[in-house]
Amino acid sequence: LGAPAGGPPLASAAGFAVAALAVAPVATGRDVMRVGTGLLLLIDAALLVRIALGGTPGDVEQLVTAAMLIVLAGALAALAANARADGTGGYAFSDPGRVRVRREPDAHPLDQA
C-alpha cells in the first residue's frame, strides 16, 4: 500500500483475500443473508488490513470492534428473521408487487389479408 507496515505482512494478504471473497455476495446478492454476510466479510477484511498497517490494536480498540461486529451480526439476524417471516419469498428483499401484464396492441388491429 505504500505505507510502512506496523503489523504482520500476511495480515494485508489475508485482508485483501477476504475482501475478494466478499465482493461477489455484495455485488450479486439476491437476498438479505447474502448481502449481509458479504458486508460482514468486508468489515473483517478492513480490520485485517488495519492490523497489517497499524499493528496489533489496543484493548479498547479490540473491544469496540468486537462490539461493532456483534451489533452488526445481530442486525443481520434480525433482518433475516423478518425477511424469512415476511412470506413465501424466503430471504428476498421484498415482494415484486404487482406484476405488469404485457398485452398485445389492440387499438388498431392488423387485417389479415
pTM: 0.71
Taking 80 as the threshold, does the pLDDT of residue 97 lie above it?
no
User: Can you give the pLDDT at residue 8?
Assistant: 85
pLDDT tens digits, 9-64 = 898 899 999 999 999 988 888 788 888 999 999 999 999 999 988 888 899 999 99
Share of the chain above pLDDT 90, in %: 36
Taking 70 as the threshold, does the pLDDT of residue 107 lie above it?
no
Q: Which of 1, 8, 9, 71 is nearest to 40 (CA)?
A: 71
